[in-house]
Amino acid sequence: MKWSLLLAVLVTASADRPKRARLADDGVFASLQPQDSEYRELRSLDGVWQFRLAPRADPERGFRGLPMPVPSSYNDITEHASVRDHLGWAWYSTEAWVPRSWAGQRAVLRVGSAHYTASVYVNGALVVTHSGGHLPFAADVTDRLQPGQANLVTVAVNNTLTDVTVPQGRTVYKDNNTNYVYPAGYATLEYNFDFFNYAGIHRPVVLYTTPPTFIDDVVVTTTLENDGTATVKYHVSTSSRLSDDSATIEVSLATPDGSVMAEAAGSTGSISVTAPQLWWPYLMDAQPGRQYTLEVRMAAASGARDVYRQKFGIRQFSWNATTLAVNGRPVYIRGFGMHEDSDLRGKGLDLPLIVKDFNLIEWVGANCFRTSHYPYAEEIMDAADARGILVIDETPAVSLDYSATAGDDRLLNEHLAALDGMIRRDKNRPSVFIWSLSNEAKTSQPEAVPYYTRLVNYARTLDGTRPITAVLNTYPDAELVAPLIDVVCANRYFGWYSDTGHTEVIELQSEHFFTLWHETFHKPVINSEYGADTVAGLHEEPTFVFSEEYQTQLMARNFHAFEAMRARGWFAGEMIWNFADFMTKQDTTRVVGNRKGIFTRQRQPKMAAHLLRSRYWGLARLTDWPDLPLPADLMFSDSYTALDDDQCPAP
């Protein structure tokens, strides 16, 4: 390890660190997912890096190295509360050997996600900075890498949030007063969102090559025609490190089984597909998640060649004042809010957990999840595409408050940048069903109208093929943003945050509340969050809050309301909060995290998981697949409501 070079990087970091984050050097937020091909080579830098914290009072210190896995949050890896609760800069470093064969190729360093602000150095030189903890960023490092040698890669990460970051937070310095005294300079990070502010390098770090002239972006859209055919439209962008190098494009289209069915030439074009094999959500078809592949081939005048293979699904989304549809068929959302969260790794990428989670999603019979409250890892999105799970893709804008930033566009600019990065990254994904601009922001404030007008208009310029939502927690008579969006997603915890312990009022209140949303704004309505904290293994009869019996009774009362509203034609779905228990900051209302999951944090089912499974499979048979065979091991009623009188007794 080049320790003298690393020391120089750390000591000069304060002077080098830009005041504003900038976009990645190689384009639009590294929107194309890296892949190996005939002309590209991909090398993972994942592994155990050297790690050190920089004390907030003296960010140039912190030279004692600790081993730290990448990807992973750093908070739960050590035995030190000072690491778990650290606020400020943390430094990662590793060596990357680059083969001599990379000489003459363009080289890119890409970070899948680093929370929240990051500065990246290669051999002591700053190559890129980025703000925003849930999207990839990259830099062209061709002129910084030394082929045939070990190269020092250093990533500085800062988890500090402010009034103008997305999400927001605030460093609160504690002053001494009559009742409390604190050490000099004592401060904590305060934030309003209900999940732990995990920090670190959360997703893969890779080096990869392209030719000097290369494929920079691929956009694919699909349309279903009235004659039963489908049209696949594509647009390919190229870039070059050379001053003047023209390129030609050829494409071929392969079916889900890999057979080439069509070819075309040109950077922009369309291909007609006869008898298309459509992408369907899980339990809407016997073969969900079918994907085609568009192979893009580039030939440059300089002799450079490049190939990129873009997967996509042939499908079409539509919506009106009452209904959401996939391929012309109405779809009822059966889903969850989720979190990227697990023991030890925090928000770090965890491939075994991803596979397990999708197995559980299918076991429950769900067809959708929301990326609450930030864009999820590309590996999670890949699984959703392949397994036919619809996704409501959400920006990191949770609990935004504009009052502290009046007249300051920095918050909006950060929000627009996150929206841009999310849509450009996920634009080709067949699973992405709805773009969500935010969760539980202050959408009743007057400042919200011009703010969200900018967001909605920008989202529509990037993609007009999907509906837009913002997840709301206001009341219809005070709501100002709902007229701008296509789908109303509203969170409401009847029987938990209001009228706690009183499940007898849930059905009446839920029907009244969500009916008002539709009657006021004339849009499809989804209950995007409902639920109750539940300690696994705690049982009380009669039911009592935090017991498994209370969670299931609360769910059953909501199911009655959902069925009544679904019958009226405008209620488009239900998404329980949450898929699994997850970590939060320490608080007197949270016992080692939020316990609203139907699964524990270790992915073991509570009683609620079995009840929800019965409902979701029954709903799938009723709404999507009449001949769907139900699992033989359902623990509750096999009727579509999953409700018997003894499961939801009268109060």
Tell me which residues are annotated as active site: 440
Question: Which residues partner with 155 through β-bridges?
Answer: 92, 120
The encoded tokens of residue 632 equal 């033989």
The encoded tokens of residue 511 equal 């029907």
The encoded tokens of residue 190 equal 């305060």
Prior bond to 116 cis, omega within 30? yes
Question: Per-residue DSSP letters for 486-529?
Answer: SSEEEE--BTTTBSTT-GGGHHHHHHHHHHHHHHHH-S-EEEEE
The encoded tokens of residue 288 equal 């969900």
In contact, 46 and 71? CB cutoff 8 Å? yes
Contacts of 177 (CB under 8 A, 6+ apart): none
Q: Answer left, alpha or beta for residue 344, where phi above 0 means left and psi between -120 and 50 means alpha.
A: left
In contact, 485 and 528? CB cutoff 8 Å? no
Contacts of 186 (CB under 8 A, 6+ apart): 173, 174
Determine how many CB atoms are found less than 10 A away from the CB of residue 501.
13
Q: Which of 623, 495, 619 has the alpha carbon at shortest distance from 550?
A: 495
**Residue 615 — φ and ψ, nearest 5°?**
-65, -50
The encoded tokens of residue 513 equal 């509340």
Burial string for 450-465 (b: 16+ CB within 10 Å, else e) reads: ebbebbbeebeeebee
What is the CA 606 to chain-centroid distance, rounded?
Answer: 25
